Amino acid sequence: MATFHFDLVSPEKLAFSGEVDQVDVPGMEGDFGVLAGHAPIVAAVRPGILTITTGDTHQKIIVLGGLAEMSEKGLTVLADVATSTAEIDHAMFAEMIADMEAKLAEKEGSELDHALERLDHFKSIQQELQTTALH
């Protein structure tokens, strides 16, 4: 399988840089996979789990929004936050979701819509983390 260069960058660190076979990105318009030779694209990234595939290895990284750009140089994801699923504190993540739920009553209109959408993304991440932990 052909490889391509991938960089995952957050404000805190360069989370990943190297040659990969495939990257699955949680996009705002739906998840999408990138292989070598993918057409140039710029897409918004939603909170979710990004999967990096190299050979038989699948590395999962939680991203909390950002921007993905595929060009002739490869794929670059500029993430607001990028944390390996192995590094996540499940209890703290659950507390963050509970806090988000508690603050919903303070929101209204489009702010409420945005908060509900973000909460849904976080719950999806939590569900995938729990499913992954069972395997």
DSSP string over 58-87: EEEEEEEEEEEEEETTEEEEEES-EEEGGG
What single letter denotes the amino acid at residue 52?
Answer: I
- How confident is the model at residue 86, as a pLDDT? 81
Whether residue 134 is predicted with pLDDT greater than 70 in this model: the reply is no
Q: What pLDDT, in 10s, does the model give residues 73-103?
A: 999 999 998 988 888 777 887 888 888 888 8
Half-sphere exposure of 75 (CA within 13 A, CB side): 30
What global pTM score does this model have?
A: 0.77
Smallest Cα–Cα separation from 8: which of 57, 40, 45?
A: 45
- Sign, Cα dihedral of 15, 125, 34, 53: positive
pLDDT tens digits along 4-13: 999 999 998 9
pLDDT in tens, 13-72: 999 999 999 999 999 999 999 999 999 999 999 999 999 999 999 999 999 899 999 999
- CA pair distance 7, 120, nearest whole angstrom: 27
Radius of gyration of the chain from its Cα atoms, rounded to whole angstroms: 16
Per the model's pLDDT, the better-predicted residue between 123 and 46 turns out to be 46
